[in-house]
A and B are shown apart, each in its own frame.
Chain A
Amino acid sequence: MHSLTTLVASLPSESFEPASEIVRSGVLLVAPLLVGLPLLSAAVLLLSGRRSDRWGHWLGVLASTASFVVAAIVFVAMLQRSADARVIDVSLGTWIDAGAFQLDAGMRLDPLSLTFVLLVTFVGTLIHVYAVAYMEHDADRRRFFAYLNLFVAAMLVLVLADSYLLLFVGWEGVGLASYLLIGFWNHHYDYAVAAKKAFVANRIGDLGLIIALGLMFATFGAVDFGTVLSGVEGSASQGTLTAIGLMLLLAACGKSAQFPLQSWLGDAMAGPTPVSALIHAATMVTAGVYLIVRSAPLFDAAPTAQLVVVIVGAITLLFGAIVGCAKDDIKKALAASTMSQIGYMILAAGLGPVGYAFAIFHLITHGFFKAGMFLGAGSVMHGMDDQVDMRRFGGLARYMTITWLTFMAGWLAIIGVPPFSGFFSKDKIIEAAFVPVDGSPWRAWVFGGITLLGAGITAFYMSRLFFMTFEGERRWSTKRDGTAQHPHESPRLMTWPMIVLAIGSIGLGFFLNLGGRFVDWLAPVLGHPEHEEPVLPIWVITVLTLGLVIVGVVIAWRRYAISQVPVIPPVGTELTRAARVDLYQDSVNDVLLVEPGQALTRSLVYADRTAIDGTVTGVGLSTVVLGGWARRLQTGYVRSYAASMLLGLVVLVVAVLVIQN
């Protein structure tokens, strides 16, 4: 069993910021193609219009695949370099040159960004392939692929940026793509509202990022990673760093659906399922984790901000897990689970050097098993006439074997059964959470306990989801047109991506954990964590985790696999009812934000009508009156023109003479 004790403390980890190298030649210069290819494809698809309907989706797949190939080339080139030469800047020229503020646009190629690039392009390509079949009957399939390509390009800009400002460009880009894709079927009013909700929640987060940018510029005079992260130890005060850290956290909360900005993610499931898999499970929603891990030196220097990060992660972890237990919509249950799993990652990122690498580790394995399960859910919906209510599933294992098996791989991975992927990554986070900070054990007990409890609940609700869908007796309804359901396996274009992701769900964690190779790989960016002893022995933690997982699975098995599942949801306890409505998050938002906001808007509109419009109309009217006078002067007679010139001249001369004397 690999654990913290096997890690070697080779480098001091406090505020570790590597020196970067600027590359001007060689194979790494192909990196801009990573972004360029999908962007170009998106542009072609959007501009060419209906005439590319027949082949547009294949162009989208090709662009994503090509981007992955480029990523693989860069990865191989990177592996050939020595570990300490793996942080590379590829300059793209001067971007902004405004007085004191000069910023070069460039790409930061390092193990961290490359990890994301590989995840995004690989999983992205699989989901592109899946979507070719999934969206086959949609008239706007070309537009869908254009947005998907746009998303891939923006996500790559986000992770490859070498400054917070360029990261912000990608950040907004993925937000835009997400908005367009959630509202892809915007002729449904509810879906359009969902898109808007995601948009607004993200805007609040973006505000945090903008304020953070401003604070960075005011403090360090720059917004590029190099200057900001290496300048942390010198100039900035503790208060400023904490403020920057909290603002970055706010940004992360918006993008990664963390408490208190989490409410949009469930509604975002209105988008087509491939979108949920790619954007709202595997990649975009993890951007917040990336942001925090990327800013590691900054958070290391701001312990208060770190503590808030951990608290937010812990709350979201439980929040998502509880909500996940009550949801009957398969996609919404998966969304709640995504929220909860990202809570784990955020928590790990807030733990400091002991957690960074594991946050990313869990992010990667989660990217595989969660995307796989979303594709599985899509496959179920495909076979069940777009039914999403799990109370209307049951016993599907016989009818869609591949979906069942691949989903099972994802299920075992997420609940952390060895040797599936999730076991290795989640177990590490739980161990790290049990490490005392600053010698005070209370944090270790509180957060360690929460992660442990979360693992148990996760096992329960994911098993519930799995059993309600694939096991037990059939509870199928009729199709929308009234005929009987005929569940069937999905076409190969859909099953193959699921199989590939299932392989990742099974073996990736073990593979990456072997000899601590993933931590070593990230070491040039994040440093090697120093060895720290958890408050409990590691074997005790692992046993406790597995024990809770087994309890969770058994309870779910008894309630949802071997006993009758009611088709009409029972009234349930107070907690269940609350969890069904996202623990009243929408109501809280309504009372706290929406209603005061609307009242403010109404009063502003009133003020605008009376005061501002009045003024503007007044100015407009008086301008027109003035213009009328001016026009009357423009008589068309040369004599009056000459007279006005002369008059003007005389006035000017008199003025000069008067002033001079």
Chain B
Amino acid sequence: MTDFVAPDVDWAALSPVVIVLIAAVLGVLVEAFVPVRARRTVQLSLALAALFGAIIAVAALWSGVEDTGGTVVLGGSLLVDGPTLVLQGTIALLALLALLIIADRTETGEDAFAPNAAAVPGSEYEELARRKGVRQTEVYPLVLFATGGMLIFPATGDLLTLFVALEVLSLPLYLLTGMARRRRLLSQEASMKYFLLGAFSSALLLFGIALVYGYSGSLRYSEIAEATQVPGGLDSLLLVGSVLILSGLLFKVGAVPFHTWTPDVYQGAPTPITGFMAACTKAAAFGALLRIVYTMLPGLAWDLGVVLWTVAILTMVVGTVAALVQTDMKRVLGYSSIAHAGFILTGIIALNQAGITAVLFYLLVYGAATIGAFGIVWLVRERSGEGPGAVLGEATHLSQWAGLGRTHPLLALTFALFLLSFAGIPLTAGFAGKFSVFSAAVEGGAWPLALIGVLASAAAVFFYVRIIVLMFFTEPAGTDEEATGTAVAAPSGDGFAAIGDTAVVVEARSTVTTTVVGTEGFAVVAIAVCAILTVVLGVFPSPVLELIDGVAAFLP
């Protein structure tokens, strides 16, 4: 290892990542050099262009990868193969949709982020920044950096790059989580928790990398896989290291018992960021997990099986059961995302070609429904009194959604569509996704998991349908037509107060009603696209499944 040979870099194969990261760096420069008034426009255009560019780059690389099976880039640090491209395309598309919601502003010009995230919540300085109309446009480069990390994550070919990508995607998310405009204390608390637990899991991952390196003498997946074939005396080193690496990744996907951060962070983060996180981070982390399980650890499939099986079962059960007793919309969706992580894990455990296809497809359909659902949560607001200025934060308590189907039928119908997709009702994309992961699991011999998955899905239908019933068949507690009405439901400012009541409690408080806020329209476009994807992929899943199936093979 004396001579350092500069690797021959295939820039074309890296283009999706490079485009997004360059745009992110440019975004930082924009913050420095572009006048305040034009900043949002420039940042938004730049970010949209970058994500579009990434999608186009993925499309351009597609046929080459389809023919050759993929290229090894940067001396093996990155592997641009079929699953990489599918995931990069999925992540770029979902990030684009999420960005539209992130960028959107209400009629009064408010976006989802604090005017000045550095200001102490409730301080005069914050009030001043709000009145001056200050904007935190750093959001855009942060989102791009996170997206860049996510694009790298599933493409990594060695453990060190994996770790770097993990940090690149995580750090911006920690920041973004703490930037909510409303309920800032909750948001900052969530950010802090996310950061501490994230650091904890990063440490576990790093420790695992060290142990595995100690066993195999390599960081490259393919070489580690070879080393596991040779019986050696240090098996426990390898096993413990592998479990630690898996736990680092399972933390990111929010699998039990590494899920504890999920509900708190999903609830505290600005809602558009929650959607972004839930959809894109999950896609990236499952991509990396898929690659590691399929290419680095297949030799240990039997030994690690117990870990993955246990985690998958726990995740499905805990996610479903805990969601049943939630009273906050964002927490319900958070626990539902945990349950979905369990369903996706069953596809990974299948350990076959069908499993790869199924997981990749599931990530796409779940991501689309998630971004759409959180987009709608962002639009449903509390209102206190008359006038556009009276619109407050998101009305996330379940009781506040009562009767939404009467006052805003189209919106409620779309939300019901996303919920039905989560529940896996036929003719929605969620059904196609669940069907493909469970059938892959059965094919791979993991039928008990598929059985538990089906039972958990059946139980989960209960709380999705409960929300639909609430929206369409329950009298609204108060609508914006009767702003001076009496009955009101509102969560207290302390987000965790909602924990504690099993039933949906309607507490009387001044005259806060539920309304749907008007916006510049970006979010509506994104939600519409998500809804269309959910329906189209539900009714005609086969073309997309076949497309993915055609390239669903990992480079060794």
Contacts and interface: CB of A to CB of B under 8 A. Distances in A.
Interface stretch (B124-132, B238-246, B420-428, B477-485): B238-246
B415 interface: no
A617 interface: no
Interface in B242-270: 243-244, 247, 251, 256-258, 260-261, 263-264
Interface residues of B, number: 39
Contacts of A645: 197, 200-201, 247, 251, 257-258, 260
B188 to A, nearest CB: 13
B258 A653 contact: no
Interface stretch (A419-427, A494-502, A636-644): A636-644
B263 A652 contact: no
Contact of B196 (A626, A642, A648, A649): A642
B261 A652 contact: no
A54 interface: no
B307 A656 contact: yes
Contacts of A649: 204, 243-244, 247, 257-258
B11 interface: no
B311 interface: yes
A260 interface: no
Interface string A131-147: 00000000000000000
B425 to A, nearest CB: 18
Contacts of B318: 630
B236 interface: yes
A653 B243 contact: yes
Contact of B200 (A628, A642, A656): A642
B324 interface: yes
Given A645-B258, A652-B247, A638 B197 contact: yes
Interface in B170-228: 192-193, 196-197, 200-201, 204
A631 interface: yes
Nearest to B247: A649
Contacts of B324: 623-624, 627
Contacts of B160: none
A108 B337 CA distance: 48
B72 interface: no
B197 A660 contact: no
A660 B200 contact: no
A631 B257 contact: no
B280 to A, nearest CB: 23
B542 interface: yes
B235 interface: yes
A634 B502 CA distance: 14
B303 to A, nearest CB: 5
B499 A634 contact: yes
B306 A655 contact: yes
Contacts of B251: 645
A644 B306 CA distance: 19
Interface string A202-219: 000000000000000000
Nearest to B303: A660
Nearest to A649: B247
Contacts, number: 92
Contacts of A623: 321, 324, 459
B315 to A, nearest CB: 11
A649 B247 CA distance: 7
A657 interface: yes
Nearest to A94: B542
Given A634-B322, A660-B235, A652 B197 contact: no
A659 interface: yes
Interface in A602-650: 623-624, 626-628, 630-631, 633-634, 636, 638, 641-642, 644-645, 647-649
A97 interface: yes
A656 B304 contact: yes
B473 interface: no
B321 A630 contact: yes
B325 interface: yes
Interface of A is mostly: helix
A647 to B, nearest CB: 7
A633 B325 CA distance: 13
Contacts of B322: 627, 630-631, 634
Contacts of B200: 642, 645
B247 A641 contact: no
B240 A657 contact: yes
A641 B321 contact: no
Given A97-B542, A653-B243, A642 B197 contact: yes
Contacts of B236: 657, 660
A107 B247 CA distance: 56
B492 interface: no
Contact of A626 (B193, B243, B263, B321): B321
Given A645-B201, A645-B257, A649-B243, A631 B303 contact: no
Nearest to A639: B196
B325 A656 contact: no
Given A97-B542, A657-B236, A659-B306, A641 B502 contact: no
Interface in B472-526: 496, 499-500, 502
A636 B321 contact: no
A636 B264 contact: yes
B454 to A, nearest CB: 15
A391 B303 CA distance: 89
Given A627-B321, A649-B244, A652-B310, A657 B257 contact: no
B502 A653 contact: no
Contacts of A630: 318, 321-322, 325
A661 to B, nearest CB: 9
Contacts of B256: 648
Interface string A7-49: 0000000000000000000000000000000000000000000
Contacts of B496: 636
B221 to A, nearest CB: 20
Nearest to B258: A645
B83 to A, nearest CB: 25
A652 B256 CA distance: 11
B494 to A, nearest CB: 10
Contact of A631 (B196, B304, B325): B325
Contacts of B257: 644-645, 647-649
B239 A641 contact: no
A644 B261 CA distance: 11
A649 B318 CA distance: 17
Nearest to A97: B542
A569 to B, nearest CB: 50
A630 B244 CA distance: 24
Most buried by B among A634, A647, A652: A652
B499 A652 contact: no
Contacts of A648: 256-258
B445 to A, nearest CB: 17
Interface string A455-467: 0000000000000
Contacts of A636: 264, 496, 499
Contacts of B264: 634, 636
Contacts of A659: 303, 306
Contact of A641 (B261, B310, B542): B261
Which of B197, B243, B251, B303 neighbours the largest number of chain A CB atoms within 10 Å of its CB?
B243
A638 B191 CA distance: 11
14 contacts: A631-B322, A631-B500, A633-B260, A634-B263, A641-B261, A642-B197, A642-B200, A645-B197, A645-B201, A645-B247, A645-B258, A647-B257, A653-B244, A660-B303
Given A631-B499, A660-B235, 18 more contacts: A623-B324, A627-B322, A630-B321, A630-B325, A633-B260, A641-B197, A644-B260, A645-B201, A645-B257, A649-B244, A652-B243, A652-B247, A652-B306, A653-B244, A655-B306, A657-B236, A659-B306, A660-B236
Interface of A: 97, 623-624, 626-628, 630-631, 633-634, 636, 638, 641-642, 644-645, 647-649, 652-653, 655-657, 659-660
Q: Which 8 A-B pairs have the closest CB atoms?
A: A648-B257, A627-B325, A641-B260, A630-B322, A652-B307, A626-B321, A627-B321, A638-B193
